[in-house]
A and B are shown apart, each in its own frame.
Chain A
Amino acid sequence: MYITLIFLGIIMATVIVWLLRQTFNTQPWISEAADNEVSGASMDTNTKAVALTVFLAVATSVFALFISAYTIRMEEPDWRPITEPTLLWANTLMLILASIAYHWTRGAAVKGIDSRVKPGLTVAGVLTVLFLIGQLVAWQQLNAAGYYLDLNPANAFFFLLTAVHGLHMLGGLWVWARSTMKVWTGADSDSVRLSIELCTVYWHFLLLVWIVLFGMLLST
């Protein structure tokens, strides 16, 4: 559970420090006019960005807990490490490229360069789909090699972790599909800018999660 604790510790510490900074040095009992200094929003940004940040904290918690469970279960004597298919390296490359593509698209959308948004989005999506297909192929390779899910917890964790990560990826693709449809039916980049910005963050996040998971799977 240390890993979860460290992650959650960081999240909680951020929350607590932020809240304390908001609340220290205040004298709530003193009344004061509601002028422009006394804002009603805590963050000078879009609400959806705030919601995404909160959601990423939730997802971090999920993955940290899985990783903790992995490290605890690993200690039992029946654990037989698996040899990961080399295909995973290719998949990782796809995901890195997808993230870069999204980043590039984001730059275009922010600057309002419409002509780049359509190809950028498309490439990012295709790369992500390739990643997911690659993961499915990796599953099949493992099965073919006799690493069945129920044979050993190491196998089970491999399938479980990749599945959970893949599902998060699919969720992202749903949002991606919506903005891509918009762009293909002629909407300008401004109408999808926010969605692209948020997706970029989400893709980077899932890339980071994947690298951590992959590293853990490889090294154990």
Chain B
Amino acid sequence: MAYVSIADRDHEVEHHDPDTFISKYVWSQDHKVIAIQYGVLAILIGLVGMLLSSAFRLQLGFPDMFEFINPENYYQFVTIHGMIMVIYLLTALFLGGFGNYLIPLQLGSRDMVFPFMNMLSVWVYALSVLILVASFFVPGGATGAGWTLYPPHAISPGTPGTDWGIVLMLLSLAVFIVAFTMGGLNYVTTVLQARCKGMTLMRMPLSVWGIFMATILGLLAFPALLVSAIMMLFDKLLGTSFFMPAMIQAGVATDTVGGSPVLFQHLFWFFGHPEVYIVALPAFGLVSDLLSTHARKNIFGYRMMVWAIIAIGGLSFIVWAHHMYVSGMNPYFGFFFATTTLIIAVPTALKVYNWVLTLWQGNIHLRVPMLFAIAFIFTFTHGGLTGLFLGNVTIDLPLSDTYFVVAHFHMVMGVSPVLVVFGAIYHWYPKMTGRMYNETLGKWHFWLTFLGTYSLYLPMHYLGFLGVPRRYFAMGNTEFMPDSAVTLNASMTISALIIAATQLIFIYNMIWSLKHGEKSGGNPWKSTSLEWQTPDTPPKHGNWGHSLPEVHRWAYDYSVPGQAEDFTPQTVPESEVPVGRDHGVDS
């Protein structure tokens, strides 16, 4: 097949530089602007999610001391916190933010293949965020059903927000899914069709691999959420009983019969488990690139890393029922899902080994992005191990619905991806802005966040072992709350508040450095991948000036023995590699 680049193939596609403020920054079709819009919006709503968590942590740490928290809004805060963090922050930030920024730049294309749809995607996402926020202000307030939105309680009186809150929540999710699908079609098609000359699939940086596979998972799994949202809206608004069983409420039988709440659980987790990998795979990819760059070593086992991403993607569709061990399922099902759950840990563990082996004898530069990347290996291993506990039916039964589960998924899906988000933002900040962040502030941010999260979530496992149930407004004087647990709860709240405050350092650093940061130049990390080889920094509209780059090698030529520099950009042909001092990794 003769090579024709997309840009050259479609002659009609010309890249008119947008000139007005509106076309440049608001209705922009440039993937880099869209990426930043996605990113900023996700972080803003993420801050709201963080504030909500501070509020309900106050109640947990110091029961009944703060009057503005009552059982109603406690549940609303917990619910919306979870929803924001999983979907509106992490999914949007990794795919909408990093996906948009990195895919075209790392693959050497001028933009996404459908820029207009890309622009629609971010604004539809903004709409979904707006609907979500609006749900706090409707009569009855936001839904308090927990982020899993299980029926029947999600739409039965007694739960906060069953009038309008839940309707807006479901609507917002549906709108989000539309936005994601428009973005996702772009990411997948761009990866498949718009790579520059020489960029084979197996030369793509792992960041792109992770984002690519996560997008495929999202495209196939979000429909399950959409289907369950539509069916629940029918139950709520049109009086059907897809999910609503026969119930007696306050002594009176409701007019719903026969519906199946377990059906909802199946649909929800059929989305829910792939969703955790929709968040995890991009994090895997980004962290691989950070580790390799800052350790000046090629990623260990690149092909294995790619295959692990593919394998995890496939397997993540057949483990969903490990979230439903306590729903009374057939024991053989439990056995099946426990087995698949443990199998998926194999490729995941392979990746961890490979990250560690990448560090082995590397020339490690402990800059801020690297600190975050290494911290990720710790927190992710930790969370993965508790996952193995939970994956076994017999161990899960007593632990399910306790704080052990909360600790597990916060280590693995809260802390770990967020550490990668921070690392990646610090890493690509110079490319996005042309300036360096402040290193000292960055280190403060790192240490406070890393140690803070450990002091928050490590004790949480212990609470789980004691049997403290999750989603309780107050524990009262129960057996599973000895004094030690009460004190721990207070200390965890203090940690949570410190972590929350620490994020202000990050925000301040990002804004301050926009103006006052040192000029970074185009390739401050001496990186090999394409985004660091753009003619301008930050890259201009169209990314590559007159001609597209050509790729001659993979993205991991760091410290190749016999070469003068310890990195060789992907664009350098073999004949032009400067030879010189031996850069063996030991030197």
Contacts and interface: CB of A to CB of B under 8 A. Distances in A.
Nearest to B245: A76
B201 A153 contact: no
B192 A72 contact: no
Contacts of A69: 227, 231, 242, 263, 267
Interface string B190-208: 0011111111111100000
A62 B229 CA distance: 12
Contacts of B227: 62, 65-66, 69
Interface stretch (B90-98, B151-159, B181-189, B376-384): B181-189
B219 A57 contact: yes
B238 A28 contact: no
Interface stretch (A9-17, A83-91, A121-129): A9-17
A156 B303 contact: no
A65 B554 contact: no
Interface residues of B, number: 71
A145 interface: no
Given A29-B298, A58-B181, A42 B201 contact: yes
A149 B216 contact: no
Contact of B197 (A16, A34, A156, A164): A34
Interface of A is mostly: helix
Contacts of B234: 156, 160
Contact of B260 (A33, A76, A164): A76
A8 B317 contact: yes
A16 B220 contact: no
B141 to A, nearest CB: 27
Nearest to A78: B258
A59 to B, nearest CB: 8
B189 A51 contact: yes
Contact of B223 (A39, A54, A61): A61
A43 B270 CA distance: 30
A79 interface: yes
Nearest to B257: A78
A38 interface: yes
B534 interface: no
Contacts of A38: 3, 197-198, 200, 551
B307 to A, nearest CB: 7
A51 B260 contact: no
B552 A34 contact: yes
B220 A11 contact: yes
A40 B550 CA distance: 10
A78 B258 CA distance: 6
A50 B184 CA distance: 13
Interface string B440-480: 00000000000000000000000000000000000000000
Interface in B391-449: none
Nearest to A44: B1
Most buried by A among B223, B231, B552: B223
B487 interface: no
Given A54-B185, A62-B227, A72 B220 contact: no
Contacts of B318: 5
B180 to A, nearest CB: 10
Interface in B135-169: none
Contacts of B257: 78
A77 B258 CA distance: 7
B19 interface: no
A58 B219 CA distance: 6
Contacts of B573: 31, 33
B202 A22 contact: yes
Interface in B285-311: 298, 302-303, 306-307, 310
A15 B219 CA distance: 13
B77 interface: no
Interface string B486-519: 0000000000000000000000000000000000
Nearest to B195: A40
Interface string B299-337: 000110011001001100110000000000000000000
A16 B310 CA distance: 7
B241 A19 contact: no
Given A4-B270, A26-B202, A62-B227, A34 B219 contact: no
B226 interface: yes
Given A33-B552, A33-B573, A34-B197, A23 B258 contact: no
A150 B203 CA distance: 55
Nearest to B266: A1
6 contacts: A26-B202, A28-B303, A31-B557, A39-B1, A42-B193, A42-B195
In the A-B complex, list the 7 residue pairs whose CB atoms are closest, starting with the nearest.
Answer: A34-B198, A78-B258, A31-B553, A150-B239, A40-B195, A156-B240, A34-B550
Given A39-B1, A58-B219, A69-B263, 17 more contacts: A8-B317, A19-B201, A20-B310, A31-B573, A33-B198, A33-B574, A38-B197, A41-B192, A47-B113, A47-B194, A54-B188, A61-B219, A69-B231, A73-B263, A76-B258, A149-B238, A160-B231
